[in-house]
Amino acid sequence: MSVKDGIILGKRYEVLSKVGAGGMADVYKGRDCMLNRYVAIKVLKKEYKEDENFVRKFRSEAQAAAGLMHPNIVNVYDVGEDRGLYYMVMELVEGITLKEYIERKGRLSHKEVISIAIQMCTGIGIAHAADIIHRDIKPQNIIISKDGKVKVTDFGIAKATTSNTVSSNAMGSVHYTSPEQARGGFSDQRSDIYSVGITLYEMVTGQVPFDGDSTVSVAIKHLQEEITPPSELIPDIPYSLEQIILKCTQKNSERRYKNTDDLIRDMKRSLVDPDGDFVVIPPLRNANTVIITGDELDVIGDAYDDEEDFEEYDAHEYGGDKEYQDGYDTGRHEYDGDYGNDDYDHDDYGNDDYGHDDEYDEYDDEYDDYGSGRGRRGRSDSVNPRMNKVMKILMVVVIIIILFIVIFTVGKTAGLFKFTPSVLPEKTEEEKVKVPSVVGLTEDEAKKTLNEKGLGYKVVERKESNKYEAGTVSEQKTEAGTKVKKNSTVQVVVSSGLVGNKLTIPDVSGRSESEAQSMLEQSGFKKISSEFEFSDSVAEGDVIGTTPAAGAEATEDTQIVMKVSKGAEKKTVPNVIGKADADAQSAIAAAGLSVGTVSYDYNDNVPEGQVVSQSIDGGKKVAAGTAVGISVSLGPKPAEKVSVPPVTNTSLDNARQLISSAGLSVGNITYQYDASVGIGNVISCDPGVGSSVEEGTAINLVISQGAEPGPSSGPSNDSPGPEGGITE
């Protein structure tokens, strides 16, 4: 029996529409008729329901998760079987995966990382308290809901820790798996903590620490290679956060955090003391590097061949599919965690399509080498000798190289080797780019889109299509989202004509997203999705256009992609306080903003020429072209200048009064004989009368003692001061 829209399971759950598919089960949006709420219904695929092993895994997953009820876990409500269909009813979460969020932001801030991680670890800790190990912690299994709550999902390979046996193929995703999982050993709480550490690493740096050409090669790196410290990639990472990541990802599980409570405690402390040295990593007792034999390599290869069986959910399940985005406005999505208030608004998202996950693309080389039992065994027997033999050979090679270096050095010193040095070209890693989706575009549009990414365009076939009209790309050989070397050529198939019942795509530009979808559905189209991009001319939430374009012919099965506006692209205001005037104005212009009013004023605390304040705070996001005004310091305010008053030929008392009234002070007073100036009057002053001086300046005065007495004359009784030029 197949699952059809409208069917009722368990006399209670109405199936509304399919929203996702995994390795073992399909996921549907449904409605709980008893409680009148929307739910997610996971139904075991038809080809597996007769397989007792798969049924057992399916039930085990449900039983493992059913008892976990917590805000940071995607809750399982019910499990049952109806008319041969095995199903599980779960909480319906509207939001996006942490993987999508990282891809759109590139990397997260310190506060964002800690805030998300604390909620994530809280959910994982609840499972650990119930003796359940997740075994598949990764960003794809962490959901950020519409209301900002972080939830852990997909206990697809979880197993109660009370079980004494652990199958070697119960492994999580290879990029996040712990060394003990990679080797097929026993897994406990610290295995999940290792995966948490890898997830933290990706949040901080925007990339996983280990990558390779195949799942086996990545698994071996987890066993044998140390991760590159995050600070080498992100120099400004807080010291405490880096130490937390390094402790989580120790090869030896005994050196990791014992439980999530200890990890959460350190993360909370990191929020208030980012550069503190409080993370304690236990000393190394045994070698971290694990030597892998050829036989063990086969075991690892076997285990990862079946990895797809355990990838239960893709990004569509909880956010990439249109059904899960009803009422979810990515342009206004805000994450407000319990421990941080960083806005997760639309400006932080990139333009990558929702729901795409490159991590589990098939590796042709891996399947060529390990795809069949015959191939694996033959390769192991003939190519992979035991590692101890390899190590002996490598030792011999190293000794030969050392001897060669010694001989070369001695010979060069003796002048035996003479050569002209040449400049070798610098070896650089070839730049890689993500292949954009061009299906549904016209040939010219597809070529332009690829060329803008630095990629070539080649039509390898033209054939009829039951989805796309003539001249439209109906298929691309390199899937969208795949990373390829720049200047690579993308091969496409172009429709030579549309076959089937033809429908015309209506013009929905300028309509709201919901209105546009209704128009497309009324026109007979069944597959409709949305992509979001910035637009200066179309209001946020309205449709810019569609792919294929309006007026094109298509069939009901054609994928119609609505391009929805996120509004004008916001720009981040730079913090220019303390910068030189010219540098500040250049920084504002470089940020895509305009320089507003520039004012200048005296400031005792800011050096001349530096910015004192700005009209919009640094870090705020505003529309492109917004004017940002700045205030620039003229340095300390100089004292006001005053003119020395006319004090000559006036009495000393009058001079004092004039000087004080002008805001000046009387300095030194000296006396000297001068027959031309009356006794007691001012002969001169320094600075002189009319001089421009600063307020408070001291004015030195010279006072007349009258005519100088003759040789026979005694001192005059009228003399007001000391004899002959004495200073007062």
Residue 724, domain member (yes or no) = no
Chain centre to alpha carbon of residue 141: 17
pLDDT of the residue at 230? 94
- 211 and 260 share a domain? yes
Cβ atoms of 541 and 329 closer than 8 Å: yes
- 104 and 85 share a domain? no
pLDDT of the residue at 216? 84
- 171 and 116 share a domain? yes
Cβ atoms of 705 and 720 closer than 8 Å: yes
Segments of the chain scoring below 50 in pLDDT? 160-172, 286-291, 305-386, 418-429, 717, 723-726
Question: How does pLDDT run across 102-141, given as a tens digit for each residue?
Answer: 998 899 999 999 999 999 999 999 999 988 888 889 999 8
Residue 541, domain member (yes or no) = yes
pLDDT of the residue at 377? 32
Residue 427, domain member (yes or no) = no
Residue 712, domain member (yes or no) = no
The pTM for the full model equals 0.44
Residue 407 bridge partners (DSSP): none
- 537 and 601 share a domain? no
In eight-state DSSP terms, residue 558 is S
Residue 669, domain member (yes or no) = yes
Instruction: Provide the H-helix boundaries in 453-591.
Output: 513-522, 581-590
- 648 and 623 share a domain? no
- 442 and 517 share a domain? no
Question: Residue 597: which CATH number?
Answer: 3.30.10.20
- 39 and 171 share a domain? no
- 479 and 598 share a domain? no
Q: Show the 3-state SS of 375-418.
A: HHHHHHHHHCCCHHHHHHHHHHHHHHHHHHHHHHHHHHHCCCCC
pLDDT of the residue at 701? 95
Q: Angle, to 10 degrees, between the axis of helix 294-305 and the axis of helix 373-383? A: 160
Among 544, 562, 580, residue at a domain's last position: 562
Q: Which residues are catalytic?
A: 136
Among 348, 369, 394, residue at a domain's last position: 348
- Overall number of domains in the chain: 6
Show the domain range for 517.
506-562
Residue 187, domain member (yes or no) = yes
- 581 and 605 share a domain? yes
pLDDT of the residue at 292? 54
pLDDT of the residue at 340? 37
Question: How does pLDDT run across 184-195, given as a tens digit for each residue?
Answer: 767 889 999 999
- 688 and 578 share a domain? no
Residue 356, domain member (yes or no) = no
Give me the chain's average pLDDT, please. Answer: 78
Among 30, 58, 92, residue at a domain's last position: 92
Altogether, the residues listed in the chain come to a count of 728
pLDDT of the residue at 388? 53
Residue 718, domain member (yes or no) = no
- 261 and 304 share a domain? yes
Question: Residue 41: which CATH number?
Answer: 3.30.200.20
- 479 and 601 share a domain? no
pLDDT of the residue at 162? 40
- Residue 699 neighbours by CB under 8 Å, 6+ apart: 644, 647, 659, 664, 665, 666, 667, 685, 686, 687
